[in-house]
Amino acid sequence: MAVSPARAAAFEILLRVERDESYASELLHSSRLAKLSSSDHGLATELVMGVLRWRSLLDQRLASASSQKLERLDPEVLAALRLGIYQLHFLSRVPARAAIFESVELVKAARKRSAAAFVNAILRKTELKSAESVLDLIERCVDAGQLAACSAHPEWLVARWVERYGLASARQICVHNQTVPATAVHIHDDQSGKELAEAGILLRPGLLLTSARRVDSGDVAKSKAYREGRISIQDEASQLVALLAGHGENILDCCAAPGSKTSLLAKRNPRARVFASELHPHRARLLRHLVSLPNVHIVAADARQLPFASGFDRVLADVPCSGTGTLARNPEIKWRLKLADLADLQLRQIAILKSALGQLAAGGRLVYSTCSLEREENEAVVEAALDGGAGFAGIDCRVELEPLKRSNELCWDDVGSLLDGPYLQTIPGKHPCDGFFAAIIERRA
- Mean residue pLDDT of the chain comes to 93
Q: Are 161 and 147 contacting, i.e. CB atoms less than 8 angstroms apart? A: no
- For 35, 81, 122, 227, 413, the CA distances from 29, given in Å and listed in that order, are 11, 24, 32, 12, 35
CA atoms within 13 A on the CB side of 46: 16
Q: What would the DSSP string read from start to end of 115-182? A: GHHHHHHHHHHT-SPPSS-HHHHHHT--SHHHHHHHHT--HHHHHHHHHHH-HHHHHHHHHHHTSPPP
Q: Sort strands 202-205 and 212-217 into parallel, antiparallel or unpaired.
A: antiparallel
What local confidence, expressed as pLDDT, does residue 335 receive?
97
What local confidence, expressed as pLDDT, does residue 28 receive?
94
Secondary structure of residue 441 in the 3-state scheme:
strand
What local confidence, expressed as pLDDT, does residue 177 receive?
97
What local confidence, expressed as pLDDT, does residue 112 receive?
93
- Measured between alpha carbons, how far apart are the two ends of the chain, in Å? 73
pLDDT digits (tens, 9 = 90+) for 235-292: 999 999 999 999 999 999 999 988 899 999 999 999 999 999 998 888 888 788 778 7
Is 167 exposed, middle or buried (CB count within 10 Å of its CB: 0-12, 13-18, 19+)? middle
- Number of Cβ within 10 Å of residue 43's Cβ equals 21
Amino acid residing at 151: S
The whole-angstrom separation of Cα 220 and Cα 229 is: 11
Q: What tens-digit pLDDT sequence spans the chain (445 residues)?
A: 578 999 999 999 999 999 999 999 999 988 888 889 989 999 999 999 999 999 999 999 999 999 899 999 999 999 999 999 999 999 988 999 999 999 999 999 999 999 999 999 999 998 665 556 788 889 999 999 999 999 999 999 999 999 999 999 999 999 999 999 999 999 988 888 889 998 899 999 999 999 999 999 988 888 888 888 888 899 999 999 999 999 999 999 999 988 899 999 999 999 999 999 998 888 888 788 778 788 999 989 999 999 888 789 999 999 999 999 999 999 999 999 999 999 999 999 999 999 999 999 999 999 999 999 999 999 999 999 998 777 999 999 999 999 999 999 999 999 999 999 999 999 999 999 999 999 999 998 6
What local confidence, expressed as pLDDT, does residue 390 receive?
78
Indicate left, alpha or beta for 204 from its phi (over 0: left) and psi (-120 to 50: alpha).
Answer: beta
What local confidence, expressed as pLDDT, does residue 128 receive?
62
The whole-angstrom separation of Cα 308 and Cα 318 is: 18
Cis peptide before 181 (omega within 30 of 0): no
What local confidence, expressed as pLDDT, does residue 1 receive?
56
Q: Sort strands 273-278 and 250-253 into parallel, antiparallel or unpaired.
A: parallel
Is 324 exposed, middle or buried (CB count within 10 Å of its CB: 0-12, 13-18, 19+)? buried
Secondary structure of residue 110 in the 3-state scheme:
coil
The whole-angstrom separation of Cα 212 and Cα 316 is: 20
Domains of the chain: 5-125 (1.10.940.10), 134-177 (no CATH), 184-232 (3.30.70.1170), 234-443 (3.40.50.150)
Q: Are 371 and 321 contacting, i.e. CB atoms less than 8 angstroms apart? A: yes
Opening angle at CA 94, ends 89 and 98, nearest 5: 100
Positive or negative, the CA dihedral 36, 42, 47, 53 is positive
The whole-angstrom separation of Cα 147 and Cα 193 is: 41
What local confidence, expressed as pLDDT, does residue 357 receive?
95
- Number of Cβ within 10 Å of residue 28's Cβ equals 19
What local confidence, expressed as pLDDT, does residue 191 receive?
86
The whole-angstrom separation of Cα 242 and Cα 261 is: 6
What local confidence, expressed as pLDDT, does residue 384 receive?
96
The whole-angstrom separation of Cα 78 and Cα 61 is: 13
